[in-house]
Amino acid sequence: MKHLTFFLPVLFATSLLPSHAQDGEQLYGLYCSACHGADGKGGGNGTLPPLAGSDWIHGNAKRTIAIVLKGLHGPVQVAGKSYNLEMPPQEDSLTEQNITAILNYVHKAWGNKGQDVKIDMVRVTKSEYADRKKPWTADEILKIFPLEKKATFLNNLTSQVYKGNWDKLPDFSKSKAENIEEEHSGIIDIKLAELKENYAIVWQGDFMAPKTAEYEFVIFVDDAGRLIFDKKTVAEVNGIGPAAEGRAGRGKVKLKSGPNPIRLEYMQQAGEQSFTIGWRQVGTKNWTWISADRPPGKQGPDPIMLIPSAGKTVIYRNFIKGVSARAIGFGFPGKVNLAYSADHLAPELIWSGDFIDASKHWVNRGQGSQSPASKDVHQLTTQKIYPPSAKFKGYTLDPKGNPTFHIQSESFTITDAWKPGADNTLIRTMTMTRGSTPIEIDLSKSKTVTPQNSVTLKPNSPTEIIYKLK
């Protein structure tokens, strides 16, 4: 084996073993757990949607297959909570075998009872939507594959609309409702009234408490609102003003398991309009929102730092600054990181320190590219390093998540494997597994990397290149 050593102010890690050696749980851990959580309860402290107990898992398996293939963007309701996210398509990143294995795991893990997935179902779904070029919206996918109907935390919900000009919540017993509607969604949504100013709404129904316990509620209102249980006001915001943390209404109430009669009152004068209500069991951290609106707060999502866990590499497949559009990021144990371009068939960035903050693209459909979470970033190349006929044929992972990239043309096939070495080194092993003519390849076109060198790959003769920190 030929050895070359590069000295860089950086490190990185990886290796090789075919991904078919992994089962669905391993693949889920590598590809999905950063977003959805290792326990399926949602990553980012609940800012990303759960898969455990999700309605989206049940019913027609082609729904989840289609989402994995094409991705999903925009608002979506999962387990009674709203999310606004960007899930990138995976059809170019995951094999049909990988998708089958991952979904069979997800459909049965954490108490889920989803449909078995066959590889033929993946192939058929992929063929049916081959011409689709953009991710699904929730409305689009649910028109094709509706969710099974399931009760929400608000049952038997009705709404009454009142018209009038008030500067605080009116005495509804002295007003006559314009109409009464059944709210089958189980969600508080003022926009369903299709009014802009000088109106009020009263909702009544049953709040379905998961267990007998004390619950905390919060409301954010523009302009005024009130939450009532058993004729007792639990939370209130009155008068004219914006939805803001300083105007939040909060309160606690003991509820029995099952249905508890609930009444919500809302008043809008003019200008902005919103009504947000959330609940949590006292002593727990995360809120569950039962309204279409979401609470006001700071701009931008909380950071979602991707961190390797259990000695395994974490993967980020989204837009990375300094890399071509089809970039694949790898964060290795030891805080060494790589961004590989599927367009240029080459490693383009390498850096030490923290890997990447995923919140930009995983929450609220952030636009643009995300920079690595470190300032110690080095550009290896920005262009294709193989002859024009060469194509990217995907990558495989060993049990630790270390990648091997596959490049193929009519005259040769090359594997490009990466793994961590000792003493802050990154070991890259390139092998021509098919072909008879040696190929010279530039290892770096960047002046920031020295020495500028190239390798000559010979048939079935692995060449090892070591990148070492200075």
Whichever domain contains 68, its CATH number is 1.10.760.10
Between CA 175 and CA 183, with CA 180 as vertex, the angle to 5 degrees is 135
Distance between CA atoms of residues 68 and 83, nearest Å: 17
Which of 215, 210, 218, 269 shows the shortest CA–CA distance to 239? 269
- Complete edge-to-edge strand list for the sheet that includes strand 274-281: 249-255, 213-222, 274-281, 288-289
Q: Is residue 20 part of a domain?
A: no
Give the separation between CA 403 and CA 406, rounded to whole angstroms.
10
Answer yes or no: do 102 and 182 share one domain.
no
Domain that holds residue 407: 2-15+304-469
The whole-angstrom separation of Cα 105 and Cα 217 is 36
Same domain, residue pair 158 and 52: no
Residue 43, in any domain of the structure: no
Please report the pLDDT score of residue 70 as a whole number.
Answer: 92
Same domain, 311 and 371: yes
Q: Please provide the DSSP assignment of 242-258 as one string.
A: ---GGG-EEEEEEE-SE
- Mark which of 96, 119, 144 sits at the end of a domain: 144
pLDDT tens figures, 274-308: 999 999 999 888 888 899 888 886 444 556 778 88
Indicate the DSSP class of residue 360: H
In tens, the pLDDT along 179-205 reads 888 887 788 989 888 888 999 999 999
d(CA 262, CA 277): 12
Q: Is residue 36 part of a domain?
A: no
Angle at 449 between CA 369 and CA 93, to 5 degrees: 40
73 and 173 in a common domain: no
107: three-class secondary structure by DSSP: helix
Determine the Cα–Cα distance for residues 116 and 85; give it in Å rounded to an integer: 27
Q: What is the dihedral of CA 169, 171, 172, 178, to 10 degrees?
A: -70
In this structure, are 226 and 350 located in the same domain?
no
DSSP readout, 56-104?
GGSS-THHHHHHHHH-EEEEEEETTEEEEEEE---TTTS-HHHHHHHHH
Identify whether 263 is part of a domain.
yes
The answer on 459 and 327 residing in a single domain is: yes
pLDDT at 46: 64
Residues 369 and 432 occupy one common structural domain? yes
Quote the tokens at residue 183: 């709210």
| pLDDT in the model for residue 40 | 84
Contact call for residues 158 and 182 (beta carbons, < 8 A): yes
User: Is 33 contained in some domain?
Assistant: no
Residue 468 vs residues 141, 381, 398, 426, 446: alpha-carbon distances, Å: 48, 17, 22, 6, 16
Cα–Cα distance for residue pair 243/342, rounded to 1 Å: 45
CA max distance for the chain: 91
Ramachandran sector of residue 271 (left: φ over 0; alpha: ψ -120 to 50; beta: rest): left
388 and 355 in one domain? yes
pTM, two decimals, is 0.45
Q: Is 192 in the same domain as 258?
A: yes
User: Which of 245, 265, 289 is where one domain is finished?
Assistant: 289
- Stretches in the chain below the pLDDT threshold 70: 1-22, 44-46, 80, 149-151, 297-303, 361-368, 444-453, 469-470
- Judge if 267 and 334 occupy the same domain: no
Whole-number Cα distances in Å, 224 to 94, 204, 219, 241: 49, 17, 10, 8
Handedness of CA 18, 114, 41, 36 (dihedral sign): positive
Q: How far is 139 from 291, CA to CA, in rounded Å?
A: 18
Decide: 38 and 53 in contact? Cβ < 8 Å: no
Asked whether residue 158 falls in the same domain as residue 140, the answer is no
pLDDT at 374: 84
Last residue of a domain, one of 254, 289, 324: 289
> Do residues 371 and 418 share a domain?
yes
Domain for residue 438, yes or no? yes
Domain count, the chain: 3
